[in-house]
Amino acid sequence: MSYTPMIISEETIKNKIYIIRGQRVMLDMELAEIYGYTTKAFNQQVKNNIHKFDDDFRFQLTKDEWANLRSKKLTSSWGGTRYLPYAFTEQGIYMLMTVLKGDLATKQSKSLIRLFKKMKDYLVTSSGQLGQQEILSLAMQTQKNTDSIQALQEQMKQFATKDDLAVFMENFMEYATEREYLFLAGQVVEASVAYAEIYAKAQKSIYIVDNYIGLKTLLLLKNVSPAVEVVIFSDNLGRGLTQAEYDDFKAEYPHVQITLQQTGGRYHDRFIMLDYGSEGQRLYHCGGSSKDGGRRVTAISPMDDVSLYQPMFEELLQTPTLVLR
């Protein structure tokens, strides 16, 4: 049995997107309504393909989360729902689009995709309604979503079909995962990949000298080994990294050991030093800050004579701890 599908409009969808666990999600009963299913039939479709829905794609609300959400919803068609609903994250909704078949599913999915393209603007206009912690969590979730969307793009390529949804999804994902590039040792490389390649070479330590840092500076370090010490030397100029952003990152990635020290206003250039003091130490000169990596034309170049910079790092290691705002 199916229900009459909902007519999708921007306002309708915005009212059905909630912030739970720091992520934008939609609930199973409302997605079922959009696609013209009963909630039971909708969830059965998901269960039939449960191997496609990891925990970061779909999760069940706790009693407290459900009660809190219901208390905030002034008017609701949820009625006396007794079960704890399932929430679908953004990437979970993309996966739904590969599971639900038929002309109606394609039509509704197209409408959702068009509206999701506008969600960046929606977040900006809604920022006054979100707490600082929620905004920070969303920033980090966006970083995670990029990898998930790219993985889905590869899966979509396996659908060797003329299906309109598959074509539309591929176009959408290219839009959603627009990359930023820079020059690394003379080669054009995606910015996030360039920093990941450099940081992965560290065996002992990573020292970063950069007076302009932000949340992205930290996110580029999220895959660093727990055995590697990370020290960022910065005077944190401009908008800068906030204490709330730093704390949120540490809570999300507790395995990354990062400490912050000042530069004392002495250094304008940006550097990355790997394994300082060891035989295999490496030094890179960065034309721009990592927080802006790829947004402007910039380059990262390996330095040949690292010994010339030994006094600089000896001095930096004696600087006071950086206090964030």
Q: Which residues pair with 190 in a beta bridge?
A: 181
pLDDT tens track, the chain, 325 positions: 445 555 556 667 778 888 898 888 889 998 888 888 888 989 999 999 999 899 889 999 999 999 888 887 654 556 556 789 999 988 888 888 888 877 777 777 776 766 665 554 444 344 444 455 554 555 555 555 555 555 555 555 454 444 444 444 444 444 344 455 556 555 656 777 888 889 999 999 999 999 999 988 998 999 999 999 999 999 999 888 999 889 988 888 899 999 999 998 888 889 999 999 999 999 999 988 888 865 655 788 899 889 889 999 999 999 999 999 8
The torsion angles phi and psi of 86, rounded to 5 degrees, stand at: -100, 140
- DSSP annotation of 118: T
Q: What pLDDT is attached to residue 19?
A: 87
Count of Cβ atoms closer than 10 Å to residue 9 Cβ: 11
- Count the helix, strand and coil residues of the chain and give each as a percent rounded to the nearest 5: 45, 15, 40
Three-state DSSP at 117 gives coil
pTM to 2 decimals? 0.50
Residue 188 one-letter amino acid: V
CB-based contacts of 165: which residues, under 8 Å, 6+ apart? 97, 105, 106, 109, 110
What residue spans define the domains of the chain? Answer: 10-176, 182-316
Q: What pLDDT is attached to residue 229?
A: 96
DSSP code per residue over 2-13: BPPPPPP-HHHH
Q: What pLDDT is attached to residue 325?
A: 85
Domain topology for 182-316: Endonuclease; Chain A (3.30.870)
Q: What pLDDT is attached to residue 99?
A: 82
Q: What pLDDT is attached to residue 136?
A: 56
Q: Which residues pair with 2 in a beta bridge?
A: 37
User: Hey, what are 243's tokens?
Assistant: 């204490």
Q: What pLDDT is attached to residue 297?
A: 59
User: Hey, what are 166's tokens?
Assistant: 């598959």
User: Hey, what are 44's tokens?
Assistant: 């059965």
What are the helix (H) ranges across the chain? Answer: 10-14, 28-35, 39-48, 63-72, 90-99, 103-116, 119-126, 132-156, 164-176, 191-200, 215-219, 243-252, 310-316
For residue 218, give Cα distances in angstroms to 144, 147, 208, 222, 248: 14, 17, 11, 7, 11
Q: What pLDDT is attached to residue 318?
A: 95
